[in-house]
Amino acid sequence: MTTDTKAGAPFAASPPLPESGTGTPVPAPPGGARDAAIVTRGLTKRFRGGQVAVDSLDLVVPRGSVFGFLGPNGSGKTTTIRMLLGLVTPTSGTRELLGVPLAEALPSVGALVEGPAFYPYLSGRDNLLRYDAADRTADPRTARERVAAALDRVGLAAAAGKRYRAYSLGMRQRLAIAAALLGPRELLILDEPTNGLDPQGTREVRALIKEIAAEGVTVFVSSHLLAEVEQMCTHAAIMRAGRLVAQGSLAGLRAGEVPRVRVETPDVARAARVLRELGLMDVHAGEGEVTASLEDVAAEHANAELVRAGVAVRGLAVVRPSLEDVFVELTGEGFDVDG
Ligand SMILES: Nc1ncnc2c1ncn2[C@@H]1O[C@H](COP(=O)(O)OP(=O)(O)OP(=O)(O)O)[C@@H](O)[C@H]1O
CATH of the domain at 302: 3.30.70.100
Question: Do 38 and 168 lie in a common domain?
Answer: yes
Alpha-carbon gap, residue 83 to 47, rounded angstroms: 12
Question: Do 72 and 93 lie in a common domain?
Answer: yes
- d(CA 118, ligand 1 centre) in Å: 25
Question: Do 63 and 127 lie in a common domain?
Answer: yes
Question: pLDDT per position in the chain (339 positions), as tens?
Answer: 433 333 222 222 233 333 333 333 333 344 445 689 999 999 999 998 888 999 999 999 999 999 999 988 888 999 999 999 999 999 999 999 999 988 899 889 999 997 778 999 999 999 999 999 988 888 889 999 999 999 998 999 999 999 999 999 889 999 999 999 998 899 999 999 988 888 888 898 899 999 999 999 999 999 988 888 999 999 999 998 999 999 999 888 887 777 889 999 999 999 999 999 999 998 999 999 999 998 888 999 999 999 999 999 999 999 887 888 788 777 777 776 544
Residue 57 domain-assigned (yes or no):
yes
Does the C-beta of 74 come closer than 6 Å to ligand 1? yes
What are the phi and psi torsion angles at 79 (to 5°)? -60, -40
**C-alpha closest to that of 220 among 239, 204, 200:** 239
Q: Which of 3, 45, 47 to mutate to test the pocket of ligand 1 (most atoms within 8 A of CB)?
A: 47
Question: Do 262 and 248 lie in a common domain?
Answer: no
Alpha-carbon gap, residue 151 to 156, rounded angstroms: 5
Residue 175 domain-assigned (yes or no):
yes
Alpha-carbon gap, residue 236 to 220, rounded angstroms: 9
Query: Which helix H or strand E contains 221, and what residues bound it?
Result: strand 218-223
Residue whose CA lies nearest to ligand 1 atom number 29:
74
Does the C-beta of 92 come closer than 6 Å to ligand 1? no
Does the C-beta of 71 come closer than 6 Å to ligand 1? yes
Three-class SS state of 171: helix
**C-alpha closest to that of 128 among 109, 158, 149, 155:** 149
Three-class SS state of 233: coil
Alpha-carbon gap, residue 249 to 303, rounded angstroms: 31
Does the C-beta of 73 come closer than 6 Å to ligand 1? yes
Count the domains in the chain: 2
Task: Looking at the CA of residue 72, tell me the nearest atom of ligand 1.
Answer: 21
Residue whose CA lies nearest to ligand 1 atom number 10:
53
Which neighbouring-strand residues pair with 264?
289, 315
Three-class SS state of 177: helix
**What is the bridge-based pairing of β-strands 187-191 and 109-112?**
parallel
Alpha-carbon gap, residue 101 to 116, rounded angstroms: 25
| Structural domain of 181 | 33-254
- d(CA 229, ligand 1 centre) in Å: 20
Task: Looking at the CA of residue 242, tell me the nearest atom of ligand 1.
Answer: 14
Question: Do 99 and 246 lie in a common domain?
Answer: yes
Question: Do 169 and 62 lie in a common domain?
Answer: yes
Contact present, 261 and 316 (Cβ < 8 Å): yes
Task: Looking at the CA of residue 76, tell me the nearest atom of ligand 1.
Answer: 18
Task: Looking at the CA of residue 80, tell me the nearest atom of ligand 1.
Answer: 18
